[in-house]
Chain A
Amino acid sequence: MEKMPKWADIFLIPLVSLVLAAIFSAIVILAIGEDPWAAVKLMVKGALGSTYAWGYTLYYATNFIFTGLAVAVAFHARMFNIGGEGQAMLGGLGVALVCLYIPWPHWSLALIGASVGAALFGAAWTAIPAFLQAKRGSHIVITTIMFNFIANALLVYLLVNVLKPVGMMEPATSKFPKLIQLPSFRDMFSTADTIMFRGAPANITFFVAVAACVAVWLLIWRTRLGYELRAFGHSESAAKYAGINPTKIIMVSMLISGGLAGMMAINNVMGEAERLVLNAVEGAGFIGIAVALMGRSHPFGVFLAALLFGFLYQGGAELALWTSIPREMIVVIQALVILFTGALDNMVRMPLERLFLGLRRKPAAKPAAAE
């Protein structure tokens, strides 16, 4: 018997967690002598108040959808991929190589090529940790996080020694050709009279991310591979009995996960920076973990959670820009949200479950009394 209705599990718990996180954030803001209500208003205005603000929020959300999906897919096979950061860096490398060294006739073809490049490079970066987990039992958490550092070192080396054009001071590649510039929201939604999303980085990749959500949903719940993946994630012993190959599931789930994380690079490298720079990922790989946790590893949940974190990211940046609330404060707020929605899930869940059990028992007793 279910302890509580499904809608409560999916919507009520994250909502209560969020409210709790907001309350604690307010207390912290009060403690440093600022006005929490003003801060909220500023965040909402800065993240949702204009098409410009939305353009940033959705840009960040796009990153988080990819990294969140990456973590979610691996979760279903009970693999904890916390190497999204490194996989996204490598994805960026794939995008840069595809964009710089292949003469694309049109941006749409380049987008397809870059998607493939990003996914392949991201996936390749998980291949070694996945293989070590499948064949040697080396814990995926340890290996993927170590691969983040290796990815960083690799990227520094390549950007400084190989990819940097002669004469440039910054460790970055040269700009991608103008011809393959992805359409931004401004290009797509502005009319002759009004310019929308002016200066905002959101671009067509957002729709690729939405498509990825649908694709992941189909993969997990409609295909044999998804079925095997979930079966393995729920019970390895049962999967063995059924003849599901553990090595295959670990490898495939991690490769898909890495590919999704890598695809984030279409957004930030090809869509926004239009060249590969160091630290392009900016922690989005780690935020993906929180997004997947909060989204209950369901693509639709990941989508909503990514929007929320996009809002926090953009709203937080505005807060740092316009108030004396220090930038670190934003990290505190984000951390509180992650803490309450992810780590302290049971703290909210248990009382709510008890509440629902109590509610259920009463109606069962009532009819007798009413008659």
Chain B
Amino acid sequence: MTTPAIELRGISKAFGPVQANKDISIRVMPGTIHGIIGENGAGKSTLMSILYGFYKADAGEIFINGKKTEIPDSQHAIAAGIGMVFQHFKLVENFTVLENVVLGAEDGAMLRPSLAKARSQLKQLAEEYELNVDPDAVIEEIGVGMQQRVEILKALYRQADILILDEPTGVLTPAEADQLFRILGRLKEEGKTIILITHKLREIMEITDTVSVMRRGEMTATVKTQDTSPPELAELMVGRKVLLQVDKVPAKPGAMVLEVKNLNVTDSGGVHRVKDVSFTIRAGEILGIAGVAGNGQSELLEVLGGYEFGKGEVLINGQSIDLTGRHSNGQTRRERGIAHVPEDRQREGLIMDFMAWENIAFGYHHDPKYQKNRLFMDNAAIRDDTADKMQRFDVRPPNPMLQAKSFSGGNQQKIVVAREIERNPDLLLVGQPTRGVDIGAIEFIHKQIVALRDQGKAILLVSVELDEIMSLSDRIAVMFDGKIMGERLPEKTNVKELGLLMAGVAGEAA
């Protein structure tokens, strides 16, 4: 029997009263791709941070290639042949690829010999693994997929035999993700060991050999990928059966609710973010906007939500709304029947230091039913309302007096969704409704969105998760570089076609 490349035995780690990792043991065989899957907060990142020397485990042992190894910091991890590719890249934006690769691994005081050595090595690595990157390109000028390759090259340059990738496809288009998987396959053939951390079941099924499931700090199972199925993995992750597919009847579109005509947005930095965008949404339908993050979707939501400014025409129920910000803000939008679940609940949707009840009133604090008289707010009424909403949206724990930051991501999102949906808006703007939300809550939130549609409301859904777009939308528009590349019907398109549109390759007219 071969020795495992990595073996963890009985790893435990607590942060204060929170047990992030409980007695975790795992064996990763050399030359395999091992997936670690689990919901947010299941302890995947903590476990990998221990392996990479960012945290010290409270208990447990680490064996690398059968040898017991202490990893007090990342230098030791690198020395042990471990390389890590973080979700958020750690690159110097205005350095070239070559300089980034060498950074921290220089041979001496003078840079020139190191750079020369790195250049020849990069060429070799490129040939060996089909990892082509221009060594003299500046990081900020190359795409996200390329930047990720640089991260992988950095690890390989430091002679990593074990590569850990943390949610590597979060920022990639489907095509870029496929390329990444091809590279990973190639690395595996060359005998490298790869640990892939993800929450996407599809990726696990597609590329891994073995998969370990984590739930609430514990390793609940390790299985051969070919012997398992997505529903089984989902059940292992959540601890109960989950509906992966959203149940919905065909849409019955009614009157026109939102008309956007030739919308243009230039942000405060002078960058043209949204370019001549036009679309419509009718009552009782969901328009999904797909696209890689940063292609103008955020600005589109912000303009419609009333706190970014644009040019063009936007009609709600046939009446135009002000886009200049001179006569409008988030308050006036709400009065016009637009509710908004923002993309970033921690930065915009919630005030993390406010208690749940204060957050339920947020944005609607002028509502007459929240006022005691002209002078004072009726805090007791808000608290009652909050307790009621928390119960109906299954927010746990259902305590209006807890601060927003003490809820889990899924429950925070439920607070925001409860607040916005319960307003019974004509148009609901939803940005990344399930980002950082556990599977159980995703199922719930999706159901609520579909239910609102079935009540005859118009919904604009922006998401970078293609699965989400595909399963929820009645129509799909794809944004790239501020433009809408095209509209498709979910039953008449596929991930590949959408992926091409997301990468800016215009398909044949639909």
Q: How far is the CA of A243 from the CA of B362 in the complex (A)?
A: 10
Stretch from B39-47, B133-141, B341-349 forming part of the interface with A: B341-349
Give 25 pairs: A residue, B residue, CB < 8 Å, sorted on A. Answer: A1-B406, A3-B16, A218-B376, A222-B377, A227-B358, A230-B354, A231-B362, A235-B351, A237-B348, A238-B362, A241-B307, A241-B330, A241-B363, A242-B330, A242-B331, A242-B363, A243-B307, A243-B330, A243-B331, A243-B332, A243-B333, A243-B363, A357-B16, A361-B16, A361-B17
- Complex interface: chain B residues within 8 A of A237 (CB): 347-348
Q: How far is the CA of A244 from the CA of B329 in the complex (A)?
A: 8
B86 → chain A, closest Cβ, in Å? 24
Q: A224-B365, A357-B16, A364-B17 are in contact. Are A241 and B348 (CB under 8 A)?
A: yes
A240 touching B351 by the CB < 8 A rule? Answer: no
A241 touching B305 by the CB < 8 A rule? Answer: yes
Best-surrounded residue of A218, A223, A240 (most CB of chain B within 10 A):
A240
- Complex interface: chain A residues within 8 A of B375 (CB): 222-223
Cβ of A234 within 8 Å of any chain B Cβ, yes or no, is yes
Q: How far is the CA of A234 from the CA of B359 in the complex (A)?
A: 12
Q: Identify the closest chain B residue to A232 (Cβ).
A: B351
Q: A222-B377, A361-B17 are in contact. Are A238 and B350 (CB under 8 A)?
A: yes
A347-370: contact bitstring with B at CB < 8 Å (1 yes, 0 no)?
Answer: 000000000010011001000000
- Complex interface: chain A residues within 8 A of B366 (CB): 224
Q: Identify the closest chain A residue to B344 (Cβ).
A: A237
Cβ of B334 within 8 Å of any chain A Cβ, yes or no, is yes
B330 touching A238 by the CB < 8 A rule? Answer: no
Cβ of A228 within 8 Å of any chain B Cβ, yes or no, is yes
Best-surrounded residue of A227, A230, A243, A360 (most CB of chain B within 10 A):
A243
Q: Identify the closest chain A residue to B364 (Cβ).
A: A242
Cβ of B352 within 8 Å of any chain A Cβ, yes or no, is yes
- Complex interface: chain B residues within 8 A of A2 (CB): 406
A241 touching B349 by the CB < 8 A rule? Answer: yes
A243 touching B306 by the CB < 8 A rule? Answer: yes
Q: Identify the closest chain B residue to A364 (Cβ).
A: B17
Cβ of B361 within 8 Å of any chain A Cβ, yes or no, is yes
B270-284: contact bitstring with A at CB < 8 Å (1 yes, 0 no)?
Answer: 000000000000000
Which 7 pairs between the two chains have the least Cβ-Cβ distance?
Answer: A243-B330, A243-B331, A242-B363, A241-B348, A243-B329, A240-B307, A222-B376
Given contacts A238-B349, A360-B17, A361-B16, 17 further A-B contacts (CB under 8 A): A218-B376, A222-B379, A223-B377, A224-B366, A224-B377, A227-B361, A234-B351, A240-B307, A241-B307, A242-B330, A242-B362, A243-B306, A243-B331, A243-B332, A243-B333, A244-B331, A357-B17
B20 → chain A, closest Cβ, in Å? 13
A219-260: contact bitstring with B at CB < 8 Å (1 yes, 0 no)?
Answer: 000111001101100110110111111000000000000000
Q: How far is the CA of A245 from the CA of B17 in the complex (A)?
A: 40
Cβ of B389 within 8 Å of any chain A Cβ, yes or no, is no
Q: How far is the CA of A351 from the CA of B334 in the complex (A)?
A: 46
Q: How far is the CA of A243 from the CA of B307 in the complex (A)?
A: 7
Cβ of B340 within 8 Å of any chain A Cβ, yes or no, is yes
B330 touching A231 by the CB < 8 A rule? Answer: no
A227 touching B377 by the CB < 8 A rule? Answer: yes
- Complex interface: chain A residues within 8 A of B406 (CB): 1-2
- Complex interface: chain A residues within 8 A of B206 (CB): none
Cβ of B353 within 8 Å of any chain A Cβ, yes or no, is yes
- Complex interface: chain B residues within 8 A of A223 (CB): 375-377
- Complex interface: chain B residues within 8 A of A235 (CB): 347-348, 351-352
B428 → chain A, closest Cβ, in Å? 15
Q: How far is the CA of A1 from the CA of B18 in the complex (A)?
A: 10
Best-surrounded residue of B347, B351, B361 (most CB of chain A within 10 A):
B351
Q: Identify the closest chain A residue to B305 (Cβ).
A: A241
- Complex interface: chain A residues within 8 A of B361 (CB): 227
Q: How far is the CA of A205 from the CA of B354 in the complex (A)?
A: 35
Q: Identify the closest chain B residue to A242 (Cβ).
A: B363
A8-37: contact bitstring with B at CB < 8 Å (1 yes, 0 no)?
Answer: 000000000000000000000000000000
A66 → chain B, closest Cβ, in Å? 23
- Complex interface: chain A residues within 8 A of B362 (CB): 231, 238, 242
